[in-house]
């Protein structure tokens, strides 16, 4: 944290936010990293997105988990007790069905919820422990993208890491591969990873999911501007930027942008800095990669996981894969 020295505006400035904004808006084309979406208002808007009729991802993945939870858990556990570790757990809504399936095979379940913010986790912890007797929730407040350490499991216990919601899709492929490799290095041979990814489908369906009629995704995207105005003292006029959702076929990803409606200049009073925008110029705020059959298994294999199973919905819109950590070379954890 640093306190800005500007005489006009004095704010507590998060250095990580300032650095990301200076780098992103100083680049050509302009970009901002998607983690900037998730302040309290952005996290709330994302929860609303998951319930939109157009945003099929959450509903479809939940249906896959509901249909196959017992099978997934049996495959992951084999003859062992399971411990769950969910990355980016948030409210852990979809995980409940897996918890119940695990509790049908074993007494009690340790659920480690990993997230950057303890706020969402605290509410989830109380609710889960109240509503699903036998689950003990441990909160691990950390940014799993920057490396993390997990405790070793108890004897006779295996860890199943849950990485669902297509969260891996918001990272560039090399970054996603790095995260999975890092994760693998924290696991013992035979531990599992359950990965949920969204699949390539009809373009109109994808566009609708990222540009809903009610405008919730537009508000989510523009929340970056709101956040910069509040935290960095900028004067973005929200009416002067349009939400744009684009299907990039070549890169197999949905992109979100904020497009400037005119030539304009935005002043960051707290940073004593100005940024110019041309009419039609965009800030690229998010990529959401869409996968094809076999891609998730290949990602798992590359990170050191043997494929154990893949499940999809009837329409082939979303996929859940389970991989098992393979034995590593000498000098590693197991």
Residues that bind ligand AVI (CB under 6 A): 49, 57, 165-167, 169-170, 210, 217, 286, 288
Q: Which two tokens stand for residue 2?
A: 């640093």
* 109 vs 209, beta carbon nearer ligand AVI: 209
* 85 vs 221, beta carbon nearer ligand AVI: 221
Tell me the residue ranges of DSSP E strands in 56-215: 81-87, 109-115, 135-141, 157-163, 192-198
* 220 vs 268, beta carbon nearer ligand AVI: 220
Beta strand pairing call for 305-312 and 81-87: unpaired
Could you tell me which residues come within 8 angstroms of residue 147 by beta carbon, excluding any fewer than 6 positions away?
Answer: 182
* Shortest spacing between CB 76 and ligand AVI, in angstroms: 22
| φ/ψ of residue 182, rounded to 5 | -60, -45
Minimal CA–CA distance to 280: which of 244, 310, 250?
244
- Cα torsion 226, 230, 33, 160 to 10°: value is -100
> Residue number with the shortest CB distance to ligand AVI?
288
* Shortest spacing between CB 19 and ligand AVI, in angstroms: 22
* Shortest spacing between CB 189 and ligand AVI, in angstroms: 29
* Shortest spacing between CB 46 and ligand AVI, in angstroms: 6
237 C-beta neighbours (distance < 10 Å), count: 12
* 167 vs 234, beta carbon nearer ligand AVI: 167
* 210 vs 318, beta carbon nearer ligand AVI: 210
* 125 vs 288, beta carbon nearer ligand AVI: 288
Q: Taking each helix axis from N to C terminus, what angle separates 295-303 and 173-185, rounded to the nearest 10 degrees?
A: 50
* Shortest spacing between CB 225 and ligand AVI, in angstroms: 15
Cα–Cα distance between 262 and 247 in angstroms, integer? 24
* Shortest spacing between CB 112 and ligand AVI, in angstroms: 20
8 Å CB contact between 69 and 33: no
């Amino acid at each position: 944290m640093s306190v800005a020295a500007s005489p006009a505006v004095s704010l507590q400035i998060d250095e990580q936010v300032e650095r990301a904004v200076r780098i992103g808006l100083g680049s050509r084309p302009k970009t901002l990293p998607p983690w900037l979406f998730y302040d309290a208002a952005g996290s709330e808007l994302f929860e609303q997105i998951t319930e939109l009729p157009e945003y099929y991802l959450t509903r479809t993945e939940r249906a896959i988990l509901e249909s196959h939870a017992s099978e997934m858990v049996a495959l992951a556990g084999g003859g062992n007790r399971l411990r769950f570790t969910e990355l980016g757990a948030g409210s852990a809504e979809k995980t409940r069905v897996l918890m119940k399936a695990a509790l049908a095979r074993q007494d009690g379940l340790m659920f480690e919820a990993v997230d950057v913010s303890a706020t969402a986790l605290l509410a989830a912890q109380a609710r889960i422990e109240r509503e699903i007797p036998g689950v003990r929730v441990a909160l691990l407040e950390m940014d799993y993208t920057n490396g993390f350490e997990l405790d070793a499991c108890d004897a006779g216990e295996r860890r199943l890491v849950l990485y669902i919601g297509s969260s891996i899709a918001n990272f560039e492929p090399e970054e996603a591969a790095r995260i999975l490799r890092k994760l693998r290095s924290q696991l013992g041979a035979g531990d599992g990873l359950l990965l949920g990814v969204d699949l390539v489908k009809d373009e109109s369906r994808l566009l609708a999911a990222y540009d809903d009629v009610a405008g919730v995704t537009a508000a989510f995207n523009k929340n970056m501007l709101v956040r910069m105005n509040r935290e960095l003292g900028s004067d973005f006029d929200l009416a002067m930027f349009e939400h744009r959702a684009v299907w990039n076929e070549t890169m197999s990803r949905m992109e979100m942008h904020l497009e400037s409606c005119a030539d304009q200049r935005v002043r960051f009073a707290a940073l004593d800095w100005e940024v110019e925008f041309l009419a039609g110029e965009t800030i690229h705020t998010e990529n959401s990669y869409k996968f094809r059959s076999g891609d998730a298994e290949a990602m798992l294999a590359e990170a050191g996981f043997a494929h154990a199973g893949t499940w999809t919905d009837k329409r082939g819109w979303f996929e859940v894969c389970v991989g098992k950590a393979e034995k590593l070379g000498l000098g590693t954890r197991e």
